[in-house]
Structure 1
Amino acid sequence: MLFVCSRNQWRSPTAEQVFRRHPALAVRSAGTSASARRRVGEADLAWADVVIAMENRHKARLLQDHAGALAGKPLHVLDIPDDYRFMDPALVELLEAAVPPLLGLG
């Protein structure tokens, strides 16, 4: 599963940290911006079985830049704005509430 935000600084790395120890998941994170710490690339999308974007603009950017690599893959949007720092407890709570139902995890 690949988590995507803009700069891969706060939201997607937090999601990666929160879910990386889940026994049923393999996770990575990346960003859509040219200034991202780790910019999403074709290899990330080829690796991912599910892509989860933080905002609709991330989904739009992914589809614009990587439509072929996303063909047939679930692409979800969490609608989590860029209002949180890395491992912010409120962000962790939002992620823990939103992600498992998308993946059918109990």
Structure 2
Amino acid sequence: MLNILFICSRNRWRSLTAETIYKKHKTVHVKSAGTENNARIKVNAKHLNWADIVFVMENHHKEKLMQQFPNECSNIEIVILEIPDEYKYMDKELIEEIQDSVSCYISDKA
């Protein structure tokens, strides 16, 4: 099983949608968190130590993780999905964009 962490700013729309899409997947465990203080679930070192791979929605999320958690980030792959903050939770376009972006890491076979 692969442990996957999805990160956006507030963990309300993008990363939460990604977690919802993959939470019943048979080959991965997923969690999501946000980088902002007002995030639904704020990312911490424990999240990063748990993850095998981290998907961030934008480059500034990766920069924030690297700045706040340099030791934890040194041993994991962080992939920037380049999905802008212009979607609501479970938007059809957002779901498609997430699935297209992570398909080379997670098979669509749930």
Tell me if TM exceeds 0.5.
Answer: yes
Pick the aligned partner of 1:12 from 15, 20, 43: 15
Once the two structures are superposed, residues 33-61 of structure 1 have per-residue CA deviations (whole angstroms, 9 ceiling, x without a partner) of: 01101000011111111000000000000
For 2:15, the aligned partner's letter is: S
Q: Partner of 2:57 in structure 1?
A: 54
CA RMSD of aligned residues (A): 1.0
For residue 14 of structure 1, give the secondary structure of its aligned residue in structure 2: helix
Identical-pair percentage: 41
What amino acid sits opposite 2:93 in the alignment? A
2:36 alignment partner AA: S
Q: Does 1:31 align with 2:28?
A: no
Unaligned runs of 5+ in 1: none
Give 1 or 2: higher strand fraction.
2
Unaligned runs of 5+ residues in structure 2 are none
AA aligned to 2:16 is: P
CA distance in 2, matches of 1:95, 1:37: 20
Aligned residues: 105
Change (3 A) 1:96 1:104: closer
List structure 1 segments (4+ residues) > 2 angstroms apart after TM superposition.
none
C-alpha distance in 2, partners of 1:104/1:52? 12
Match of 1:99 among 76, 84, 102: 102
Task: Name the one with the larger helix percent.
Answer: 1
Question: Which TM-score applies when normalising by structure 1?
Answer: 0.95
- Which deviates more from structure 2 when the two are superposed, residues 66-75 or residues 31-40? 66-75
Give the Cα–Cα distance (whole angstroms) in 1 for the partners of residues 84 and 49 of structure 2.
26
